[in-house]
């Protein structure tokens, strides 16, 4: 096995599961391994403690009159359960069918280490890098980066940069290099509907008092018009319309046609806001989604109960220029004003993150496109993503730099799921991508 694969396998063997305190020592050992690898390249390294898992920073010697590029990634991974569904041990990486199989292979160790090994390759070939480089690797991404914003604030001068690059998003299809220039934001909340003071016999009391579970269903039904549009007052007020060139461009992106969405999801038919393709709905339109609903009897057979309460769990994907704070107020107002009679509703805000949009044809965007072209020998496509990476907006706010999203993840990478994998060719392309990117950004 060649050195890049030995390095990747060593990195993947650490069970650096950030959410599980039983793995705290493994997360730490993984950070230490990474630190040693970066020091081996001759970079100046720093391990920064946080209340939980450490941040690893490395940089070359910074010279004036050179661009400063910050490359962000994360060395923590998701849990592996259910373990019995894995074909091979999630922490004993294997190569089968041209793919590397392990937890973290794609998300994010494989993509992240490709950048490190690209730098190693360039240093071996040229003795120096064309830019001032900062590597910033955290161990808490999979738990929502609870300490990263504070760290960025504290280190904002040391981390000042012209542009940020991240490889932690998707490619639309194998061999099709993909530059992301937008992300949806997110807002989560729960609501509890309460009726009688305790569960009641549905024969002795049913018909005399409101049923919180039925009320929850009616409240949820009020969130959308029947055609799929969100019915919350003011919800679309600050939504930035799609540009014509985006719609034109996306209609030609492979792998994201309506037929592809139908096939990938296995749904009986597609459904969503009228007037938009599936890709447009996912990348550039906001949503109100029901993530959970509960209350009353869930066991075998029937139980004639009138439940005392019911709950709903909601999340909203937001697009520029929606503000999570404004939307939370609109949602609260909607849930309270549409709450059916006979029950009360308590709304509890959850976590949120702002949407992100940058110009894919800015000078840095064009540099990223050129690097993708070089690395993959193919024309890159420009997309937004439906998911949320709140840290990207935080980089803009704290470091004043835009982020290039150079994703190498395939749709069937099984990230966060059993049998996570990363194509060997994407790992190798990622190494070339880093080299090309630093060259292009230096121009």
Query: Among the candidate windows 18-26, 49-57, 107-115, 389-397, which touches Zn ion by CB under 5 A?
Result: 107-115
Q: Which H or E element spans position 49?
A: none
List the 185-194 sheet strands across, edge first.
287-295, 309-318, 185-194, 344-353
Nearer to Zn ion, 107 or 402 (CB): 107
**In whole angstroms, what is the distance from residue 16 CA to residue 91 CA?**
10
Nearer to Zn ion, 218 or 351 (CB): 351
Residues 221-240 binding Zn ion (CB under 5 A) are none
Shortest distance in whole angstroms from residue 107 CB to Zn ion: 4
Phi, psi of 133 (to 5 degrees): -115, 140
Query: Among the candidate windows 104-112, 199-207, 272-280, 321-329, which touches Zn ion by CB under 5 A?
Result: 104-112
**By three-state DSSP, how is residue 142 classified?**
helix
Size of the site for Zn ion (CB under 5 A): 1
Residue 107 is a binding residue for Zn ion (CB under 5 A): yes
Residue 420 is a binding residue for Zn ion (CB under 5 A): no
**In whole angstroms, what is the distance from residue 337 CA to residue 141 CA?**
37
**In whole angstroms, what is the distance from residue 31 CA to residue 318 CA?**
34
Minimal CB distance residue for Zn ion? 107
Query: Among the candidate windows 89-97, 99-107, 272-280, 306-314, which touches Zn ion by CB under 5 A?
Result: 99-107
Whether 314 and 289 have beta carbons less than 8 Å apart is answered as yes
Whether 406 and 179 have beta carbons less than 8 Å apart is answered as yes
- How many Cα atoms within 13 Å fall on the side-chain side of residue 191? 27
CB atoms under 10 Å from CB of 16, counted, come to 30
Shortest distance in whole angstroms from residue 76 CB to Zn ion: 9
Shortest distance in whole angstroms from residue 149 CB to Zn ion: 18
Helix, strand, coil proportions of the chain in percent (round to 5)?
A: 35, 25, 40
Query: Among the candidate windows 15-23, 100-108, 124-132, 156-164, which touches Zn ion by CB under 5 A?
Result: 100-108
Shortest distance in whole angstroms from residue 110 CB to Zn ion: 12
Nearer to Zn ion, 186 or 193 (CB): 186
Query: Among the candidate windows 106-114, 244-252, 301-309, 419-427, which touches Zn ion by CB under 5 A?
Result: 106-114
Residue 138 is a binding residue for Zn ion (CB under 5 A): no
Judged by the rule CB under 5 A, the positions of this chain that interact with Zn ion are 107
């Amino acid at each position: 096995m060649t050195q890049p694969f030995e390095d990747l396998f060593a990195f993947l063997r650490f069970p650096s599961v950030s959410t599980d305190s039983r793995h705290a020592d493994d997360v730490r050992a993984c950070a230490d391994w990474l630190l040693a690898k970066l020091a081996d390249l001759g970079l100046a390294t720093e391990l920064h403690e946080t209340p939980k898992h450490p941040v690893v920073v490395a940089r070359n010697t910074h010279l004036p009159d050179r661009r400063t590029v910050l490359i962000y990634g994360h060395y923590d991974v998701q849990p592996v359960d259910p373990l019995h569904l894995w074909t091979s041990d999630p922490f004993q990486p294997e190569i089968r069918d041209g793919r590397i199989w392990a937890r973290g292979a794609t998300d994010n160790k494989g993509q992240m280490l490709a950048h490190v090994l690209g730098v190693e390759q360039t240093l071996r070939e040229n003795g120096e890098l064309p830019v001032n480089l900062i590597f910033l690797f955290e161990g808490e991404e999979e738990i929502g980066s609870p300490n990263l914003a504070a760290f960025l604030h504290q280190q904002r001068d040391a981390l000042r940069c012209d542009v940020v690059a991240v490889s932690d998003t998707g490619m639309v299809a194998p061999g099709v290099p993909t530059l992301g220039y937008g992300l949806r934001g997110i807002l989560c909340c729960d609501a509890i509907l309460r009726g009688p003071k305790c569960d009641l016999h549905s024969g002795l009391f049913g018909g005399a008092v409101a049923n919180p579970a039925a009320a929850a269903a009616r409240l949820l039904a009020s969130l959308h018009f029947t055609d799929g549009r969100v019915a919350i007052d003011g919800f679309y007020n600050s939504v930035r319309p799609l540009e014509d060139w985006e719609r034109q461009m996306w209609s030609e992106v492979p792998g994201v046609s309506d037929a592809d969405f139908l096939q990938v999801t296995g749904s009986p038919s597609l459904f969503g806001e009228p007037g938009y393709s599936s890709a447009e709905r996912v990348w550039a339109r906001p949503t109100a989604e029901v993530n959970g609903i509960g209350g009353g009897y869930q066991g075998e057979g029937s139980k004639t109960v009138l439940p005392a309460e019911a709950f709903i769990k909601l999340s909203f994907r937001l697009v520029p220029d929606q503000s999570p704070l404004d939307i939370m107020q609109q949602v609260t107002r909607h849930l309270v004003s549409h709450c059916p009679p006979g029950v009360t509703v308590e709304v509890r805000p959850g976590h949120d993150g702002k949407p992100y949009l940058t110009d894919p044809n800015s000078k840095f965007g064009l540099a990223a496109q050129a690097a993708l072209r070089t690395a993959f020998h193919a024309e890159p496509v420009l997309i937004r993503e439906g998911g949320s990476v709140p840290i990207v907006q935080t980089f803009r706010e704290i470091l004043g730099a835009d982020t290039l999203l150079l994703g190498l993840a395939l749709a069937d990478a099984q990230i966060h799921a059993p049998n996570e994998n990363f194509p060997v060719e994407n790992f190798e392309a990622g190494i070339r991508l880093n080299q090309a990117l630093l060259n292009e950004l230096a121009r």
